[in-house]
Structure 1
Amino acid sequence: MFAHLIRFIRDQYRTKDFIPLHAPVFNGQERNYVLETIDSTFVSSVGAFVDRFENEMAAYTGSPRAVATVNGTAALHAALLLAGVKRGELVITQSLTFIATCNAINYCGAEPVFIDVDRHTLGLSPSALDAWLQDNARMDSEGTCRTKDDDKIIRACLPMHTFGHPVALDDLLGVCTRWNLVLVEDAAESLGSFYKGRHTGTFGQLGTLSFNGNKIITTGGGGMILANEELGKRAKHLTTTAKKPHPYEFVHDEVGFNYRLPNLNAALGCAQLEQLEGFIAAKRSLAARYAEELQGSDLQFFHEPHDCRSNYWLNAVICESGEQRDALIKTTNDQGVMTRPIWKLMNHLPIYAHCRKGDLSNAEWLEVRVVNLPSSVLPEFLQ
């Protein structure tokens, strides 16, 4: 049934062997930089490559400050704390997301509220957010957003840029401003993605990135907080065990976190970042080929939203039905071409089933139809 698509994918990757969903590429200075780190003996959280990686990431994204962390979830946890999220408060997010988005909220002692996504972005819907707030929230005399039924504080809004495709940030910012919500962007998947010429993760008060092994660039494990100078300074302090600078004494002025990115990982990240634009060009070329190949078929290729440049981290198709999705996934994987469904909705997981939610019609529709296709950089771009 999907023989033509499988043949097309194998032609792109020029192999009869197993094709993964997304594999890292080490085609630059990775080995040299890592060996340099080993030779320096500064392999842990102190070293020149950490500062370099932060500075280069800030320059690339246009963020005033970038703070490296041990992984994207740690970055998101710290960002939410810096945004003022406290125990017992609510944070609005999308149900169609990777679980780290919700776990980071949980780490703060807060509770997620699940709002629907837009089908053209796969991300949090501004109109669905506004509708839920109109029905369920009010502003108190101090300008704090609270629930009508039990007076809980709704502190922040946490959208996720799914598969690297930016959400509708202008409209989302407008809703957050009207309701006095802090916007924190989960940009884990969208390094190199731009909304109206501006990098994702720089629209909210804070944003976060991930450099897990399956991301567009990797440090093995790693993350980054994007923030202004003031919050960036606080982020650095909070994620380095809240230790006050001193030549030899250990003085910590608050409960901090050991979320520092080791120099060894940062060295890998610096080499990867040097190749990022090449990776994006390769992935956008692959996306264009998928779109052309699938034109007129019963699999709808997912295109980047209007006025955006997506990194096309993971290519996606929307099937006509859940039955077609299951058949596509089984057939491709049985023949050594890895595909996967989108995540289960967070409110469908037992650990988050009790959480508040709005109407999730779009998310439920997408949950049973979206499939990711192999998205690694093509061999021809590595020569």
Structure 2
Amino acid sequence: MSTALVNFIRELYQSNEFIPLHAPSFRGNELQYVSETIKSTFVSSVGKFVDEFERKIEDFTGTVKAVATVNGTAALHSALYMAGVHAGDVVITQPLTFVATCNALYHMGAEPVFVDISTNTLSLCPAALSQFLQQQARIDDQGCYLKSSGQRIRAVMPMHTFGHPAALDELMQICQQWQLILIEDAAESLGSYYKNRHTGTIGQFGALSFNGNKIITTGGGGMLLCAGLKDGERAKHLTTTAKVPHRWEFYHDEPGFNYRLPNLNAALGCAQMESLSYFLAQKRQLARQYQAFFADTDYQFVDEPAQCQANFWLNAVICPDLRSRDKLLHSTNDANVMTRPVWQLMHQLPAFKHAIRGSLAIAEDLAQRLVNLPSSVPEAF
């Protein structure tokens, strides 16, 4: 399998050199827009490209209001703040995610509660969430609380793993039943749709990332998606240090965050948005080639859930067992083809090992068998 896979990937990318996991592609107006920004001298948080980038994201996703931030973690942190998460609160999320999901909670002074994932989405499982709440939570006129500690459960935060949408209708229904706010960690899912609705726009808040390895990049950057205009306007105010507009006075009416995306980064994002549809088509074609390669093998290609359209940000395959996973990882990386296991599960990290959790059998099983495959747009390098 390993040799055949290496040969297949090299044929896909027409390269005998090192093949990365996910490289950015600059095929359009990136250099022109960034150069224009430098010539204008407006390279920081003031400039036309920041507002334009927000408008492009609003138009593409259908969100009511998009607020550009310096990175995806800042977008998540802003979402949690806007959702009213306080120090000592808990937020339910999944153990199979990138650490930024939990880091944002940590910096709020809040704690994660880990609930298992679903095999068909790799995201938070509605059945596991419902069971956890029924067994370990109580609800009254004031809100939802953990029975064991009395801590307020403020929100549920699924992550759309590798760009595959979570089961949002079911999760939203549970959140409404238990008086919880749904925050979508959509960092990986720009261009992914759940029942024809863009991810990050179904919960009250969503967060995108434009890190260098995402489907489009601003070098570093993120975007807070808000379902309500009033929330969006307040979030934009807060993320620009809560400064009240004035021709010369510096007056800030409440504590805020210095999270505004620089114009230089936004210029890159505007150019990347012009190629997003092309990237999505190319990545879908790449995914279908991987799917065909793994057909009739013991290796299961991770496909998009039913009634969903994934962006296939990172392609993934589930190996038969841990031994075959490790063999695949060793063989491909030895051959200069980058593959990676999924992230270390959050409850296995020192910072979060004492977090309350339900049974995590599915996440623990898949973490020992899942491998990410090179997923760049083929022309990227």
1:315-326 residue pairs with structure 2 within 5 A? 315-326=315-326
In the alignment, does 2:146 pair up with 1:151? no
Which amino acid counterpart does residue 102 of structure 2 have in structure 1? C
Q: Deviations over 1:22-80 (max 9, x none)?
A: 00000000000001111111010000000000011011000011000000000000110
Partner of 2:166: 167
Partner of 1:357: 357
Q: CA deviation at 1:296?
A: 0.7
Following the alignment from structure 2 to structure 1, what is the Cα–Cα distance between the partners of residues 143 and 252? 32
Which amino acid counterpart does residue 37 of structure 2 have in structure 1? T
Is the 1:316–1:373 Cα contact (8 Å) retained in structure 2?
A: yes
1:230-379 residue pairs with structure 2 within 5 A? 230-379=230-379
Partner of 1:229: 229
Partner of 1:177: 176
1:83-122 residue pairs with structure 2 within 5 A? 83-122=83-122
In the alignment, does 2:193 pair up with 1:194? yes
Is the 1:99–1:346 Cα contact (8 Å) retained in structure 2?
A: yes
Following the alignment from structure 2 to structure 1, what is the Cα–Cα distance between the partners of residues 68 and 151? 32
Partner of 2:209: 210
Q: CA deviation at 1:375?
A: 0.2
Partner of 1:34: 34
Following the alignment from structure 1 to structure 2, what is the Cα–Cα distance between the partners of residues 113 and 268? 36
Following the alignment from structure 1 to structure 2, what is the Cα–Cα distance between the partners of residues 89 and 293? 46
Gaps of 5+ in 2: none
Q: CA deviation at 1:299?
A: 1.3
Query: Secondary structure in 2 aligned to 1:208?
Result: strand
Identical counterparts, % of pairs: 60
Partner of 1:23: 23
Q: Deviations over 1:126-146 (max 9, x none)?
A: 110000000000112x24001
Following the alignment from structure 1 to structure 2, what is the Cα–Cα distance between the partners of residues 15 and 136? 53
Q: CA deviation at 1:148?
A: 1.2
Query: Secondary structure in 2 aligned to 1:54?
Result: helix
1:121-160 residue pairs with structure 2 within 5 A? 121-140=121-140, 142-160=141-159
Which amino acid counterpart does residue 91 of structure 1 have in structure 2? V
Q: Deviations over 1:101-152 (max 9, x none)?
A: 0010111110000000001000000110000000000112x24001112211
Q: Deviations over 1:330-365 (max 9, x none)?
A: 100000000000011100011100100000010001
Query: Secondary structure in 2 aligned to 1:157?
Result: strand
Following the alignment from structure 1 to structure 2, what is the Cα–Cα distance between the partners of residues 54 and 19? 32
TM-score by length of 2: 0.99
Following the alignment from structure 2 to structure 1, what is the Cα–Cα distance between the partners of residues 148 and 209? 36
Partner of 2:43: 43
Q: Post-superposition, which runs of at least 4 consecutive aligned residues in structure 1 deviate over 6 A?
A: none
In the alignment, does 2:76 pair up with 1:76? yes
Following the alignment from structure 2 to structure 1, what is the Cα–Cα distance between the partners of residues 139 and 3? 56
Query: Secondary structure in 2 aligned to 1:185?
Result: strand
Q: Deviations over 1:299-323 (max 9, x none)?
A: 1101000000000000000001111
Is the 1:50–1:266 Cα contact (8 Å) retained in structure 2?
A: yes
CA-based RMSD of the aligned residues comes to 1.0
Following the alignment from structure 2 to structure 1, what is the Cα–Cα distance between the partners of residues 51 and 361? 45
Is the 1:143–1:180 Cα contact (8 Å) retained in structure 2?
A: no
Is the 1:49–1:270 Cα contact (8 Å) retained in structure 2?
A: yes
Q: CA deviation at 1:87?
A: 0.6
Query: Secondary structure in 1 aligned to 2:52?
Result: helix
Following the alignment from structure 1 to structure 2, what is the Cα–Cα distance between the partners of residues 218 and 2? 31
Q: Deviations over 1:4-31 (max 9, x none)?
A: 1110000000010000000000000000
Query: Secondary structure in 1 aligned to 2:32?
Result: helix
Following the alignment from structure 2 to structure 1, what is the Cα–Cα distance between the partners of residues 349 and 34? 40
Following the alignment from structure 1 to structure 2, what is the Cα–Cα distance between the partners of residues 176 and 52? 33
TM-score by length of 1: 0.98
Following the alignment from structure 1 to structure 2, what is the Cα–Cα distance between the partners of residues 44 and 270? 15
Following the alignment from structure 2 to structure 1, what is the Cα–Cα distance between the partners of residues 246 and 171? 43
Q: CA deviation at 1:100?
A: 0.2
Following the alignment from structure 1 to structure 2, what is the Cα–Cα distance between the partners of residues 154 and 177? 13
